[in-house]
Structure 1
Amino acid sequence: MIVITAPTGNIGRRLLSLLVEAAPAGGEELRVVVRDPARLPESVRGRVEVVTGSHGDAATVERAFAGADAVFWLVPPDASVTPEEGFSGFTRPAARAFAACGVGHVVGVSALGRATPQAARAGLVTASLAMDDLIAASGVAYRALACPSFYENLLEEAGSIRADGVFTDTAAADRPAPMVAVADIAATAAGLLLDRSWTGVGSVPVLGPQDLSPDDLARIMTEELGRPVRYRRQPLGELRSALLGHGLDEAFVEAVVAMKRAKDEGLDAGVHRAPQAAPATGFAQWCAHTLRPAVLGTREAADAR
């Protein structure tokens, strides 16, 4: 029995699809924890057991993890609480339930940066790494998927790219760093959940095929979109003001700023790319299949090919 949390999110829905596809061959039973079962794809509703509720709730996870061999763990973002509450606070009931229910293996979505000089002052990343320690202390075999920034974050910039040919972040324009497609995170999680021969505690970096700077991203987007795209570096103070202006919790905002500062100082740099079971998604490939329709519109993107 594999339990999937956050099965309707960007990573979870892709993971669920992979596991449902593999389940008949592997004989795995699947269970999902979801607040709103209506959000599950119709194609999977009859093929998984559903536990309704929040996986941050003790009673819910006790029901969900009963009889489970493995769990996919993903904490949903919550800008209304402190990072410690959002990560470790949300995870504590699950960590107790892992032990109480005898769960053997857990795969969680986390971040790069452990053992770097920036790890203790990286805001949301620091909180995510503390969550990993909490899960590891529960006694399960644990693999933290250590992820950099996602390609999909750029979808938030689609409107600006469409209107002005500009995308914004806070990193130096020439600083290369890894990035990853959420589909690759899901595929890595599926492999670990289906083949549970691993033991102990560790992290698995999930990286795109190459490090890319914002200038590299702009160049590739220009080529793939067929229109000029340039990068604007946003000062951290401007980012802080914008986030506070949206009414976000001040501690959460400071954690975002700290994470962005740490990334610009090299938090994600220098990670060894180990061989993967499947080729990592390249940024140009992702732009062609995902960003291009979002920026140009499906019909215009097809006509431009």
Structure 2
Amino acid sequence: MIVITAPTGNIGRHLLPLLLESAPTHGEELRVIVRDPARLPDAVRDRVEVIVGSHGDAEVVDRAFEGADAVFWLVPPDSSLAPMDAYCGFTDPAAEALAAHGIGHVVGVSALGRGTPVADRAGLVTVSLALDDLIAKTGVSYRALANPSFFENFLEEADSIREKGVFTDVVDADRKAPLVAVADIAAVAARLLLDRSWTGVDEVPVLGPQDLSPNDLARIMTEQLGRPVRYERQPFEELRTALVGYGLDATFVQGIVEMKQAKDNGLDAGVTRTAATASPTTFEQWCAQTLKPAVLS
């Protein structure tokens, strides 16, 4: 039995179909934890066991983990809380349930940066790494999917790209870094969940096919969208002011700013891309398949 948290989220909606396709041949049953079962497609709802509620709730995870062999763990970030509460506080009940039910394997969504000089002052990434440690201490075999920034973050810029031909960030325009498609993260998670021959605790970097700078991204967007797109670097304080204006918790905002500062100082550059850590979806492919329809809609 595999338990999937956040099955309707960015990664979960890619992961669940992969598991539904392959689980029968592996003799696996699937169980999902979801607040609103109506968000699951009918064809999915009929093929999985559904536990209704939040996976931050002790009673819910206690029911969901009973009889399970493996768990896909993803914390939906709650910007109304301080980062430690939003990540580790949310996971505390699950950590107790993992130990109580003797779960063997957990695959979690995490971030790059462990072991780098800026890892202890990288805001949300620092907290994410602390979350990995919390899960590892339960005694499960654990694989943390160590990810850079997602291609899908650019969907938040679709309006600006459409209306002004501009996307923004706070990193240097020429700083190259890995980026990844969420579908590729889901594919690695599915492989680990279905073949649980691994033991112990480790990270599994998912780095995309190449490092790209904001200027590289602007060039590719221009080519794929058929219209000029340029990058504008936003001052850190301007980012902070904007996020606070949206009503986010002040300490959560600080966590975002510190994460962005760490990325601008090489947080994501500590892992070498190899055949094992690269993932297949290129930014060109993602732009054509996902960003272009969003911008041109």
The TM-score normalised by the length of structure 1 is: 0.96
Which residue is 1:13 aligned to? 13
Per-residue CA deviations over 1:232-256 (Å, capped at 9, x if unaligned) read 0000000000001111100000000
Per-residue CA deviations over 1:121-173 (Å, capped at 9, x if unaligned) read 00000000000000000000000000000000000000000011000000000
Which residue is 1:81 aligned to? 81
SS in 2 for 1:252: helix
Q: Once the 2 structures are TM-superposed, how far is the Cα of residue 77 of structure 1 from its aligned partner? A: 1.1
Which residue is 1:90 aligned to? 90
Which residue is 1:202 aligned to? 202
Per-residue CA deviations over 1:181-225 (Å, capped at 9, x if unaligned) read 000000000000000000000000011100000000000000111
CA separation in 1, counterparts of 2:188 and 2:70?
Answer: 15
CA separation in 2, counterparts of 1:277 and 1:123?
Answer: 24
Per-residue CA deviations over 1:68-111 (Å, capped at 9, x if unaligned) read 00000000010011110011100111111001001000000000
Q: Is the 8 A contact 1:149 1:178 kept in 2?
A: yes
CA separation in 2, counterparts of 1:251 and 1:20?
Answer: 39
Q: Once the 2 structures are TM-superposed, how far is the Cα of residue 270 of structure 1 from its aligned partner? A: 3.5
Is 1:142 equivalent to 2:142 in the alignment?
A: yes
Query: Which runs of 5 or more structure 1 residues have no equivalent in the other structure?
Result: 298-305
Is 1:119 equivalent to 2:90 in the alignment?
A: no
Which residue is 2:225 aligned to? 225
Q: Once the 2 structures are TM-superposed, how far is the Cα of residue 274 of structure 1 from its aligned partner? A: 3.0
CA separation in 1, counterparts of 2:150 and 2:31?
Answer: 26
Q: Is the 8 A contact 1:58 1:94 kept in 2?
A: yes
CA separation in 2, counterparts of 1:41 and 1:272?
Answer: 38
Q: Is the 8 A contact 2:207 2:277 kept in 1?
A: no
CA separation in 1, counterparts of 2:280 and 2:93?
Answer: 34
Which residue is 1:152 aligned to? 152
CA separation in 2, counterparts of 1:41 and 1:206?
Answer: 28
Which residue is 1:264 aligned to? 264
CA separation in 1, counterparts of 2:108 and 2:278?
Answer: 20
The one-letter code sitting in structure 2 at the alignment partner of 1:243 is L
CA separation in 1, counterparts of 2:161 and 2:279?
Answer: 28
CA separation in 2, counterparts of 1:114 and 1:93?
Answer: 25
CA separation in 1, counterparts of 2:195 and 2:180?
Answer: 23
Query: Which runs of 5 or more structure 2 residues have no equivalent in the other structure?
Result: none
The alignment of Structure 1 onto Structure 2 pairs a total of residues equal to 297
Q: Is the 8 A contact 2:79 2:252 kept in 1?
A: yes
CA separation in 1, counterparts of 2:75 and 2:158?
Answer: 25
User: Percent identity between the aligned chains?
Assistant: 73
Per-residue CA deviations over 1:43-90 (Å, capped at 9, x if unaligned) read 111100000110001110000000000000000010011110011100
CA separation in 1, counterparts of 2:135 and 2:23?
Answer: 26
Which residue is 2:252 aligned to? 252
Q: Is the 8 A contact 2:109 2:144 kept in 1?
A: yes
Q: Once the 2 structures are TM-superposed, how far is the Cα of residue 296 of structure 1 from its aligned partner? A: 1.2
SS in 2 for 1:295: helix
Q: Is the 8 A contact 1:207 1:280 kept in 2?
A: no
Q: Once the 2 structures are TM-superposed, how far is the Cα of residue 278 of structure 1 from its aligned partner? A: 8.8
The TM-score normalised by the length of structure 2 is: 0.98
SS in 1 for 2:71: strand
CA separation in 2, counterparts of 1:66 and 1:272?
Answer: 39
Cα RMSD of the aligned pairs, angstroms, is 1.0
Q: Structure 1's 87 and 10: CA in aligned 2 closer, same or farther, altered over 3 A?
A: same
Which residue is 1:282 aligned to? 282
Which residue is 1:235 aligned to? 235
Q: Structure 1's 216 and 277: CA in aligned 2 closer, same or farther, altered over 3 A?
A: closer
Q: Once the 2 structures are TM-superposed, how far is the Cα of residue 280 of structure 1 from its aligned partner? A: 1.4
The one-letter code sitting in structure 2 at the alignment partner of 1:84 is M
CA separation in 2, counterparts of 1:42 and 1:156?
Answer: 28
Q: Is the 8 A contact 1:106 1:141 kept in 2?
A: yes
CA separation in 2, counterparts of 1:98 and 1:279?
Answer: 30
The one-letter code sitting in structure 1 at the alignment partner of 2:287 is C
CA separation in 2, counterparts of 1:77 and 1:158?
Answer: 21
